[in-house]
Copies of this chain bind each other. A is one copy, B any other.
C-alpha cells in the first residue's frame, strides 16, 4: 500500500469541475459565525459535489482571509450566493421545486440514517455555532434531519456536522 501523490489522485481541474454534473442538493448556512467554519464547508462541498452554497445573514462571504485558510481554493470551484434573510433563501429555493431540511435537534426530526436523499432536489440548512438554525427558519422547512449521537456533548462542530451530512448524501447518491 503506497500513498498516492497529489498528481496521482486524478482530481478534476477547475474548468472540468465546473462542467461536471453536481448532486441535486444545496447547502444553506444560516448565520454561521466563524469564517473558518464557512471555509471548511466550502472544502467539504467541493469534495462531495454539492451544487451550491447559500450564505445568509452574518455568514461571511468570499473573498475573506479566514474563509480562504480552510477552503484552500474551494471558493473558486463551488458556486455560492448570498441572501440577507435565510427565510428568503428558503422561499426562493422552494419556488424552484426544492424540499428544505434543517439539520437540528427538534421534535419530529428524521434521524440521518433514515433520511432518503433520492428524489427531488433539496436544501440542507446548518445554523449558528451556539444557537443552531433559527426557529423561524425551521417553521418554514419541510423537515428536520438530526444526527443521532451517544455522547455527553449536545452537538458536534458545524463543519464536522456538514461533513457527516454531505458524506451521507454522497454515499447514497453517488
Cβ of A96 within 8 Å of any chain B Cβ, yes or no, is no
B contact residues around A164 at 8 Å (CB): 163-164, 167
Is A105's CB under 8 angstroms from B3's CB?
yes
Cβ of A95 within 8 Å of any chain B Cβ, yes or no, is no
Is A151's CB under 8 angstroms from B6's CB?
no
B contact residues around A160 at 8 Å (CB): 40, 43-44, 159-160, 162-163
Cβ of A118 within 8 Å of any chain B Cβ, yes or no, is no
Which among A24-32, A51-59, A70-78, A81-89 touches the partner chain? A70-78
Is A49's CB under 8 angstroms from B11's CB?
no
Which residues of A pack against B, CB within 8 Å? 1-4, 6, 9, 11-14, 17, 20, 40, 43-49, 70, 72-74, 76-77, 102, 104-109, 112-113, 132-133, 135, 138-139, 141, 143-144, 147-157, 159-164, 167-168, 170-171, 174
List 8 A-B pairs, Cβ < 8 Å: A1-B138, A2-B107, A3-B104, A3-B105, A44-B157, A48-B150, A73-B153, A149-B170
